[in-house]
Amino acid sequence: MYWFDYTYLIILPAFLFGLYAQMKVSSTFSKYQSVQSSRGVTGAQAARRILDDNGLYDVAVVKISGNLTDNFNPKTRTVSLSDSVYGSTSVAAIGVAAHECGHAVQHATGYTPIKIRSALVPVTNFGSSAGFVILLVGMLFGSYPIAMLGVLLYSLMAVFQAVTLPVEFNASKRALATLEASGMLVGEELKMSRSVLSAAAMTYVAALVSSLATILRLLLIVGSSRRRDR
């Protein structure tokens, strides 16, 4: 089986972990989407209240299509909530809406990790697109330094994902604290919402693990190629 690339065994566990994380967030959200909050507040109403309580009156709350496509856009100053969140009164929807508002508050308060992540976006976009091209050029011409430059550029993606983790965890922490303080969710409802946000956070961990596994695989490929050329 000389044709089998054993380096794929490095990324297989990361792939399976990522698949599990996606299934976990979908199943957890679906489970608690059926649990309606006792206060009867919709995701959109919860978002509007949180934003107003933080003085973010100019941040709009809009509805977008899709499932779990929720996001905060700092350029347009818009919290976009998906079909399953915007008008839903479930504990899952309220938690997701509050999480996205957490990002809006992070930007407003100058939260350092989110400032670093924003600064890394253009660099990461370049590294992820150019890294593999430069790597292939280096491998094609047998240039170890060029190939390693490609790996280094691709590694910027892992740096971005590492910085994303505290941003996402902090947004969820802010969300849960706000929901508890405001009384929009109480008792077991908060625990259910926390489960949804924890499952969502796992997908970011999985993304980082996947990038690290890919980087290790690329390093092994480049190193093996260099040894063969000697």
Would you state the structure tokens that stand for residue 218, as one six-digit string?
């690329």
**Phi/psi of residue 143, each to 5°?**
-100, 105
Give the CA radius of gyration of the chain.
Answer: 21
Distance, CA of 197 to CA of 195 (rounded, Å): 6
Q: Is 188 a catalytic residue?
A: no
Catalytic residue, from 100, 168, 180, 189: name it. 100
Residue-wise burial string across 81-101, b where 16 or more C-beta atoms lie within 10 A, e elsewhere = bbebbbebbbbbbbbbbbbbb
- Cβ-based neighbour number of residue 4 at 10 Å: 8
CB-side neighbour CA atoms (13 Å) of 174: 24
Q: Give the span between the Cα atoms of 28 and 53, in whole angstroms.
A: 29
Q: Looking at 54-143, list the stretches that DSSP marks H as alpha helix, in order from N- to C-terminal side.
A: 83-86, 91-109, 112-140
The residue among 44, 177, 187 whose CA lies nearest residue 102 is 177
Residues annotated catalytic, as ranges: 100
